[in-house]
A = this chain, B = another copy of it.
Amino acid sequence: MKKDVLAPAAEAFTLTEKLQRGDLLSAACPSRTVLKHITSRWGVLTLMVLEDGQTRRFSELRRLIDGVSERMLAQTLQWLEADGLVNRVAYDVVPPHVEYTLTPLGQQAAQKVRALADWVEVSFPDVQQHWNSKLAS
């Protein structure tokens, strides 16, 4: 059984690497991992929900994001947390209580995600129309 990898192995690269902008078109660029987390099936929806700045509990997120399983939500939140996009605060109480919020970095990402998501929702009728018109051919 293998453990889920949250972040790639740490290389001892320093200044040069840290300061350089990622290049998504290069297969080897680790920025692809970040894109993967953000654009993952549940990552997009999670960021979308948190984008309004509200603090949400795990169970709240689970209810808001229709269809996520607990397993996947937990995994997605861990990815986003590891990337520094979401903040996790756990209270050590008996019925567990954990709160999630976006970090400043996460807010930025979430805004881009929301813009895309909004576009999809708004433009969906157009896409659907295209689907329908293709059926006739």
Contacts and interface: CB of A to CB of B under 8 A. Distances in A.
A131 B45 CA distance: 23
Interface string A12-35: 000001111111111110110011
A93 interface: no
B21 A122 contact: yes
Q: Is the interface of A mostly helix, strand, loop or mixed?
A: helix
A124 B34 contact: yes
A113 to B, nearest CB: 6
A97 interface: no
Interface residues on A, range: 35 or more
Given A25-B49, A39-B39, A124 B10 contact: no
Contacts of A8: 131
Interface string A99-130: 00000010011001101110111111111111
A45 B39 CA distance: 12
A2 interface: yes
18 contacts: A1-B136, A2-B135, A8-B131, A19-B125, A21-B125, A22-B122, A23-B121, A24-B45, A25-B65, A27-B66, A27-B67, A30-B124, A31-B127, A35-B44, A39-B116, A84-B129, A105-B126, A108-B119
